Amino acid sequence: MQKIKSLMTRQGLKSPQESMADLSPVENFRIPSKEELRELREQPIDPQAEQEIIDSIEEVYFSNDAFDMVQHELEKLPPELNLQELEEYRDKLKRQQAAELERVTALQTNLQLAAVICTNARRQLGVAKEGFTGASLGLLANQRRRHLLTGLLKSLRTIKTLQRTDVRLSEMLEEEDYPGAIQLCLECQKAASTFKHYSCISELNSKLQDTLEQIEEQLDVALSKTCKHFDVAHYTKVQLAYTLLGKTQTAMDQLHMHFTQAIHNTVFQVVLGYVELCAGNADTKFQKMQYKDLCTHITLDSYIPCLTDLCKALWEVMLSYHRTMQWHEEHDNMETSPGPGDSVVDRSYVKKKLEHGLTRIWQDVQLKVKAYILGTDMSNFKYDDFIVVLDVISRLMQVGEEFCGSKSEVLQESIKWQSVNYFKHYHRARLEELRMFLENETWELCPVKSNFNIAQLHEFKFMGQCRSPSVSPSRQAASSTGLAQEELSLFQLYLLEGNPFEMHIEHKEEETEDVLASNGYESDELEKCVYQDYDNDSDSDVPEELKQDYVDEQTGDAPLKSVSRETIRSKKKSDYNLNKANAPILTNTTLNVIRLVGKYMQMMNILKPIAFDVIHCVSQLFDYYLYAVYTFFGRNDMYESSSLGLISSRLRTTLNRIQESLIEVNAGVHGAVEERKEKVPSPHLSQLVVLTNSGTLYGLAQRVVATESLVFLAEQFESLQSHLDTMMPAAKKPFLQQFYSQTVSTASELRKPIYWIVAARAIDYEQMLLLMAGVKWDIREIMSQHNVYVDVLLKEFEQFNKRLADVSRHVRIPLPVSNVLWEHCIRLANRTLVEGYANVKKCSNEGRALMQLDFQQFLMKLEKLTDLRPIPDKEFVETYIKAYYLTENDMEQFIKNHREYSMKQLANLVNVCLGSHINKKARQKLLAAIDDIDRPKR
C-alpha cells in the first residue's frame, strides 16, 4: 500500500478520502474509457509475470515523496553509454510502470464505486431519520426501563426471602430434617452468588456459612446416637445430609470414632452403676477411676448381673453396627448409579471402612470384657454361678464369630485363665469332698430305678441338646421352635427386638429328676405290694365266675379251671424280679461322682480350651474312686505271693501310678507346696463297714456294692468316651486313649482280688487238708467208695451257695460276680486238693486211682451246684494225679513244662514215685532239676 500511495502521489492522484470528500473528478488523470478498460481486461494477463515485474521495482522508488527518480536513473548510467542497453533498460522501466499503473487504475475504480455506495447510504439514512419520530424512540426507552425494574423487583423479593431463611432453618433442625436444611442452605448460597453485586448479600453469605457449620455439629451428634439405638429413618436422614455436604467419607471416620467412644462410655457407665450401688454411698471417687480399676470393685453378688448387663449393652452397640452395614448394603443394591453428591469412590471407601471397622469394634469389646473378667478372682464362685459366667462369655464369643468371624482369642485366653484357676480350686475341693464321701460311705445301695441312666441327670442334659460349646441356652430355646430358626444367626433372631443375654431366669429353673426309687430296689414296699395287692383290689379285676374253682359251660364238657391268685401273684412277682435283676448297682458316692463328672463336662463343653485340664481332673476322680475301692476291699497280703494271677500287671501298674501321682501317702512329710496341692490323702474305710463277719460272707454285700458300682461307673465312662474324644485337643488325645485302655478298662479286674478274699475265707480249706492227711493212700485194692473229705468239701460248697442266696436277697449278685466267686472257690478247692495230694508220704497205684475217684465225685456233685463251665483248674488236679504214672524221662520233661506247681509239690511227686518206677539215681536227678527251676526265684 505504501508503494501504491507513493506512486499515486508522484502521479498527482488524490487519496480515497480526498476523493470521497469532494466527490469531484480526479485531476491530471484521465479516466480510461469503458472500451479501453474492456480491452485491458480482455488482454491476456499473466498474474505471475505481472507480479514478477512489480517485485522487480526497486524499493527506493517507494521510499519518500521527495525522491527524484530521474536523478536516480541518471546516476545509474554508466560512464560509457550503450544505446542498445539503454533501450533495453528503458523498456524494462516501461513494463514496470505499466504493471504498477494497472494496479493503481483498478484501485481507483474501486474507490469510485465505494464513494457511490456511501452517497446512496447517506441518502437512505436521511429518509429513515425523517420516517421515525422522537415519541417512538421514547416509548422504546420506557419499555426497556420497565423490564429492568421488573427484574430488580424479583431480585429484591429473592433477597428478602434469603434473609428470612434462618427461621425456616431453625424449624427444620428442630424437626431433625437435616437433608432439607442442608438443601435449603445450598440453594440459598447458590442464589446469593447470583446477587453478590448487592452489598447486603455478603452478610447473608456469612450467616449461611455459620448455619452450615451449626448443622454439621448437630449432624455429628445425631450420628453418634445411631451407635446405641439404630433407627433406619434417622440414619437415612443423617447419611443423606452428609451426602449433600459431600462429606460421606468424613461421616464414616466420625461414625467409627463414635462407636469406639460408645463402647467405652457404655461399659464404664454399667460397671460404675453397679459399683456405686454396692458401695452404698455417694462417694464420687469411682467416677474418676480408670475402667480397669473400676472392675476390681465389683462384688461377687453383683458380678453376674453386671456381666449380663454389660453384654446386653455391648450387644446393642454391635447390633447397631450390624444394622448400619446392612443399611449400606441395601442402599448400594437399590442405587445402581451414584446419586447426587455420591460417587463410586465414596461407596468403595465406605464399604472398606465398615468391613475394617468390624474387627476394630470387636477388639474393643473383647478388651473391655477381658478387663472385667480379670478384675475379679472367681476361685470362690459357686459352680452354678461360674457355669453361668462361662455360658455368658461363650455366647458373647458366638456373637463375635457371627459379627466378624473372630475366634475371640482375647476372650478365650482371659476366660481360660480364670477357668483353670477356678477349676484347680474347685477340683481340689471336690477331691476332698470325695474322700469324705468315701470315708463315710457304708456301701449300701442307692435307690435308683431299674431304667436309670446318666442322661436322666440334670448335669448331662446338655448332651441331649446337641449344641456346640459356643451356643447359649437362649439360642437353644429359640432354635427348638423349628428347623428354620436353627439356621438363623443371633443377629437375625434378635434384629428387631430381644437380647441373646436375657435367659438366666428361665434357664436356671430347676427341673424335677425322676431317677430315685421309693426304697432300695423298690423292694421292701414293692415286694409287700406284690403279695398284699391281691387281698385288696386284685380280685376286683377278676370276674366273679372266674373266682370259682369250676365253671359249668353250656356244653357240659370238661370244666374250665379259674385263674388262681397264685398265677397272677407269680406273674407280678416275676415282673418285679425282672426289674430287680436289671436295676444298676451303685452307691450315693457313685451317683455323686457321676454328677460331678457331668458338671466337669458342662464346663468343658462350654469352654473347649480347658478340655484337657477338665478331662485330666475327671480321670483323677475315677482314679481316686478305683484306688479307694481297691484299698478298702482288695488289698490283702494273702494273695500277694499266690500264683492265681489275681492282679494283672496292667492293674498293678495302674494302682502304682495312682499312688505315686495322686495319693499323699505320708501327710506329715514336707514336700513341695504345689505337689501337695495335687495329691489327696489315702482314704480309710468307715468303721461301720465290717468285713470280718463270716455270717455276712465277710461283707460280701458291701463288696458287691462297692465293686459293681465301680464297674457301673466305668461303663458310664465308656459311654462318654466318644463325647470326651470330640472335646479333647488332637495333641492330647493319646492321654485320653491311655486313660481308657489302662484305667477304665481295669475296673472289672478288681473283682478278682476283692472277691478272692471272700472265697478264701468262706470255705474251710484247712479242715479239708487235715481230713486228707488222715486218708491212707498206699492201699492195695481199688476202692469203689470215695473218701469223706469230698463230702465235707461239697457240704461246704452247699453252705456257700445258701449264703450267697441269703446275700442276694439284700443285694443282687450279678452273674459275673457269681462266676468270679465260684471260680475262686473252685480254684482254691482244687489247689487245696493238689496240696493235700502233695502231702502224701506213700501212695500206691490204687491210691492214685482213689484220688481220681474222689476228684470225679467232687466234680460230679459240684456241677449240680454251679453253672460255671468249664470247671476251673480241673486239668490242674487231673494232671497232677496222672503225673504219678510218668516215667523218668517224662517226669523230667513234666517238671520243666509245669511250673504252675510249687517246688514242694513237684518234689513230693518225685519222692512218692521212688521205688515204684523211679530209682534213687533218677530221684536225685529230678530233684536237681527242680532245684534249678527254683534257684532264679531266690
Q: Tens digits of per-residue pLDDT, 619-630? A: 999 999 999 999
More confident residue, 518 or 56: 56
Q: Are both 709 and 788 inside the same structural domain?
A: no
Which DSSP string do the residues of 59-76 spell out, in sequence order? GGGGS-TT--HHHHHHHT
Question: Is the pLDDT reported for residue 871 higher than 60?
Answer: yes
pLDDT band at 607 (very low <50, low <70, confident <90, very high): confident
User: Domain for residue 517, yes or no?
Assistant: no
Q: Are both 733 and 768 inside the same structural domain?
A: no
User: Domain for residue 231, yes or no?
Assistant: no
Q: Are both 275 and 402 inside the same structural domain?
A: yes
Residue 452 DSSP SS3: coil
Q: Find how far residue 775's CA is from the centre of its chain.
A: 79
CA distance 305 to 146: 81
CA distance 144 to 686: 126
Q: Are both 723 and 700 inside the same structural domain?
A: yes
Q: To 10 degrees, the CA torsion angle through 934, 935, 937, 938? A: 120
Question: Is the pLDDT reported for residue 19 higher than 60?
Answer: no
All three cell numbers of 277:
450401688
Residues 148-169 have a mean pLDDT of: 65
pLDDT band at 157 (very low <50, low <70, confident <90, very high): low
DSSP state of 915: T
SS (H, E, C) 263-281: HHHHHHHHHHHHHHHHHCC
Closest CA to 197 of 144, 159, 157, 153: 159
User: Domain for residue 175, yes or no?
Assistant: no
Which of 749, 772, 798 is the C-terminal boundary of a domain? 749
Domain of 389, in residue numbers: 247-334+343-425
Q: Are both 735 and 631 inside the same structural domain?
A: yes
Which of 399, 425, 451 is the C-terminal boundary of a domain? 425
DSSP state of 716: H
More confident residue, 912 or 264: 264
User: Domain for residue 59, yes or no?
Assistant: no
CB atoms within 10 A of CB 671: 10
CA distance 746 to 937: 28
Note whether 401 and 381 are within 8 A (CB): no
Alpha carbons within 13 angstroms on the beta-carbon side of residue 743 total 25
User: Domain for residue 141, yes or no?
Assistant: no
Window from 78-87, 567-576, 674-683, 748-757 with minimum mean pLDDT: 567-576
Residue 668 DSSP SS3: coil
| Model confidence pLDDT, tens digit, residues 789-827 | 999 999 999 999 999 999 999 899 999 999 999 999 999
Note whether 195 and 201 are within 8 A (CB): yes
pTM over 0.75: no
Per the structure, the count of domains in the chain is 4
Q: Are both 446 and 586 inside the same structural domain?
A: yes
Query: According to the model, what pLDDT value does residue 167 have?
Result: 62
Q: Are both 847 and 870 inside the same structural domain?
A: yes
Percent of the chain with pLDDT over 70: 73
The one-letter amino acid code at 17 reads Q
User: Domain for residue 457, yes or no?
Assistant: yes
Phi, psi at 680, each rounded to 5°:
-125, 140
Q: Which residues pair with 448 in a beta bridge?
A: 516
| Model confidence pLDDT, tens digit, residues 221-240 | 888 888 888 888 888 888 88
Closest CA to 328 of 240, 210, 250, 436: 240
CA distance 873 to 886: 20
Phi, psi at 876, each rounded to 5°:
-60, -45
Alpha carbons within 13 angstroms on the beta-carbon side of residue 112 total 11
Q: Are both 358 and 309 inside the same structural domain?
A: yes
DSSP state of 448: B
CA distance 420 to 198: 79
Which of 836, 851, 878 is the C-terminal boundary of a domain? 878
Name the residue with cell 470280718: 692
Task: Please give the biggest Cα pair distance in the chain.
Answer: 202
All three cell numbers of 691:
468285713
User: Domain for residue 112, yes or no?
Assistant: no
Q: Are both 817 and 907 inside the same structural domain?
A: no
Alpha carbon separation from 219 to 735, 738, 837, 907 (Å, rounded): 61, 66, 109, 110
CB atoms within 10 A of CB 44: 4
Residues 75-89 have a mean pLDDT of: 79
Residues 112-121 have a mean pLDDT of: 91
CA distance 575 to 239: 77
User: Domain for residue 200, yes or no?
Assistant: no
Q: Are both 596 and 458 inside the same structural domain?
A: yes
Q: Are both 827 and 918 inside the same structural domain?
A: no
| Model confidence pLDDT, tens digit, residues 271-295 | 998 988 887 665 668 888 889 999 9
Residue 664 DSSP SS3: strand
The one-letter amino acid code at 738 reads Q
Q: Are both 794 and 842 inside the same structural domain?
A: yes
Note whether 834 and 877 are within 8 A (CB): yes
Which DSSP string do the residues of 151-195 spell out, in sequence order? HHHHHHHHHHHHHTHHHHHHHHHHTT-HHHHHHHHHHHHHHHHHT
pLDDT band at 303 (very low <50, low <70, confident <90, very high): very high
